[in-house]
Amino acid sequence: MATEDTFRGRTAVEQRFVTESPGGSREALAEHRSALSRDLLGSIGGGGNDPKVNRRRKPARIPRPRSAPKNRRMPELAIGVVLIVGGAFGAAWLASNGSTDVTIVASARALNAGHTLLASDLKAINVDSRSAEFFVHADDAKELLGRTLLVPLAPSAPIGFNVVMQVEPLRDGEILAPLLLSAGDFPPELAPGDSVRLALVPDPSLASKVEPETYKGVAEVWALDPPTDTEPNYVVTLRTSDDFLLPAAGATRAKLVILPEAK
């Protein structure tokens, strides 16, 4: 038979499964087991009715990972890009559809530098309005007549005022005197606008002297036309004083020398 000493030194769990009653009766054993069960449930449940034990603890907050900040300017940048691209396409469309053709002056054939422009040297062509501002319009073609080319032109090349010599109108006492010269009568680098001196070779049939005489004045090359099928000589037109006519009339040949200050 178990006594009270039987339960001493045993744990609550060991006492819970004791099959012998401390007093020897079943009622005492059942009551003892019930008391042990209550004690056991109370210790597991956190101290029974102890308010400190029953107080609920607030669950710890789990920190949420911070999300990457959204780029709030992305919509604005997208709108800006769309506007810029749209504006560029609009400008290109207006440029391609809004331009109109303008009639300008072009060369009717190949022309050499130094050539004096005639009406037969010119023709009309159409170009877009943006390109036309650099060339002579058809309405101003008469301004080119009599002008001297500074550069050679290919056929159908547009003509601007920058390719012709800009000259002042003839002053009182000035004339334009054309001379027929061979290739050896002037330097090969001769060009319109050059200042030259002339050596005139007298005609033996008109004068007793045959030595060249130097013209005292200074002439300016107005135009230089190369030989053609109808004229085998170069035609050099000089802008000079009207007193050049008399000595030129008595000369059979002339030689030109470019003045150093002209280059």
Q: What is the mean pLDDT of residues 125-131?
A: 90
| Model pLDDT, residue 222 | 86
Share the mean pLDDT of the chain: 76
Least confident among 86-95, 96-105, 232-241: 86-95
Q: What percent of the chain has pLDDT over 70?
A: 60
The residue from 163, 182, 217 where one domain ends is: 163
Residue 76, in any domain of the structure: no
Q: Using an 8 Å Cβ cutoff, are 144 and 90 in contact?
A: no
Task: Look at residue 220 and tell me if it is in a domain.
Answer: yes
Residues 141 and 115 in one domain: yes
Same domain, 148 and 221: no
Does 252 lie in the same domain as 208?
A: yes
Residues 185 and 242 in one domain: yes
Query: Angle CA(147)–CA(150)–CA(133) in degrees, nearest 5?
Result: 75
Average pLDDT over residues 151-169: 88
pLDDT of residue 56: 53
Q: Which domain holds residue 237?
A: 174-262
Domain membership of residue 39 (yes or no) is: yes
Number of domains in the chain: 3
Q: Is the pLDDT of residue 159 over 90?
A: yes
Residues 155 and 181 in one domain: no
Residues 149 and 205 in one domain: no
Of 98, 119, 116, nearest to 108 by C-alpha is 119
Question: Of 133, 163, 193, which residue sits at a domain end?
Answer: 163
| Tokens standing for residue 221 | 């090359």
Q: Answer yes or no: is 86 within a domain.
A: no
Same domain, 115 and 158: yes
Position 145 in a domain = yes
256 near 189, Cβ under 8 Å? no
Segment 229-243 shows an average pLDDT of: 92
Kindly state whether residues 201 and 132 are assigned to the same domain: no
Q: What CATH number does the domain containing 211 carry?
A: 2.40.30
Last residue within a domain, chosen from 163, 182, 205? 163
Q: Is residue 8 part of a domain?
A: yes
Whether residues 189 and 254 share a domain: the answer is yes
List pLDDT tens digits, range 6-33: 445 555 445 545 555 555 566 666 676 6
pLDDT number for residue 121? 94
DSSP string, the chain: ---HHHHTT--HHHHHT--S-SSS-HHHHHHHHHHHHHHHHHHHTTSTT-HHHHSPPPPPPPPPPPPPPP-TTHHHHHHHHHHHHHHHHHHHHHHHHH--EEEEEEESS-B-TTPBP-GGGEEEEEEEHHHHTTS-BGGGGGGGTT-BBSS-B-TT-B--GGGB---PPPPTTEEEEEEEE-GGGS-TT--TT-EEEEEEEE-TTT-S--S-EE-SS-EEEEEEE---SS--SEEEEEEEEGGGHHHHHTEEEEEEEE-GGG-
pLDDT higher than threshold 80 for residue 136: yes
158 and 189 part of one domain = no
Task: Please determine, for residue 246, whether its predicted confidence score (pLDDT) is greater than 90.
Answer: no
Q: Does residue 148 belong to any structural domain of this protein?
A: yes
**By the 8 A CB rule, do 222 and 192 touch?**
yes
In a domain, 31, yes or no: yes
Tell me the CATH number at 134: 3.90.1210.10
pTM: 0.47
217 or 63: whose pLDDT is higher?
Answer: 217
Q: What average pLDDT score do residues 231-240 get?
A: 92
Residues 150, 183: one domain? Answer: no
Predicted confidence at residue 185, as pLDDT, reads 93
CA torsion 122-123-127-133 (nearest 10°) is: 30
